[in-house]
């Protein structure tokens, strides 16, 4: 695992007791280096705690005490601004690409360690905390794999993984509401806008 720093973060550190959610994203591109370069760019105003490449290599930004900018405008169970209480994991891929076996294995290894260190209650997709605005990790993400691994490793709270997550008491409808077939990517704290890949593509063109 490679540890990296980023300027795209909030000031101060948080206590472990406040971090109870993991949010899974796709990068919107097939380029690991492009994603890392974008997270390293202070103009991007976006970041996540982990980036997992197609081959399963894991890059960690900062540590779980740092508030990074991956969830944007988000809400779950009546709580908004989930950057403050979550860990963001970016899988290199797109809405249509699906994810590699080694990549999913690396994701579970990361989740297993987070379960040991933090009081994780929910493992969610960005589409669940920003319904109608985000679509990641998309329909090709294998939630059943995560649940099977969690069961095998005797992780409690299996009903809190993915689309099977506990519903807010006042919202009995399905959690996942996807209104578009196109990814809308990740953004900074509370902002909305073009996809990560759209912005990244323009930046790469300017830099070349």
Residue 191 to residue 194: CA distance in whole angstroms: 10
Please state whether beta strands 50-52 and 58-61 pair in parallel, antiparallel, or not at all (unpaired): antiparallel
Residue 185 to residue 70: CA distance in whole angstroms: 10
DSSP 11: E
Closest by alpha carbon to 162, among 131, 207, 128, 120? 128
> What residues form DSSP beta bridges with 29?
93
SS3 131: strand
Residue 184 to residue 182: CA distance in whole angstroms: 6
Q: Active site residue: 90, 117, 127, 151, which one? A: 90
Q: Is 90 a catalytic residue?
A: yes
CA Rg value for the chain: 16
DSSP 96: T
SS3 129: helix
Neighbours of 32 (CB within 10 A): 18
Find the DSSP H helices in 41-123. 101-117
CA distances from 143 to 90, 124, 180, 199, 200 (A): 15, 10, 20, 28, 28
Q: Which residues are the active-site residues?
A: 90
């Amino acid at each position: 695992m490679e540890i990296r720093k980023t300027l795209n973060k909030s000031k101060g550190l948080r206590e472990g007791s406040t971090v109870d959610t993991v949010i899974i994203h796709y990068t919107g591109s097939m380029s690991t280096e492009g994603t890392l370069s974008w997270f390293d760019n202070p103009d991007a105003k976006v970041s996540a705690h982990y980036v997992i490449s197609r081959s399963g290599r894991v890059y960690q930004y900062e540590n779980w005490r740092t508030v990074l900018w991956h969830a944007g405008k988000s809400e779950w169970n009546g709580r908004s601004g989930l950057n403050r209480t979550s860990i963001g994991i970016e899988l290199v891929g797109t809405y249509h690409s699906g994810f590699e076996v080694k990549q999913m294995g690396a994701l579970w290894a990361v989740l297993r360690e987070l379960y040991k260190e933090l009081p994780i209650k929910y493992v969610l997709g960005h589409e669940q905390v920003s319904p109608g605005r985000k679509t990641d990790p998309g329909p090709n993400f294998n939630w059943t794999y995560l649940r099977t691994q969690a069961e095998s490793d005797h992780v409690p709270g299996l009903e809190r993984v993915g689309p099977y997550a506990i519903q807010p008491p006042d919202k009995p409808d399905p959690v996942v509401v996807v209104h578009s077939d196109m990814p809308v990517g990740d953004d900074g704290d509370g902002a909305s806008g073009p996809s990560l890949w759209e912005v990244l593509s323009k930046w790469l063109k300017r830099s070349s």
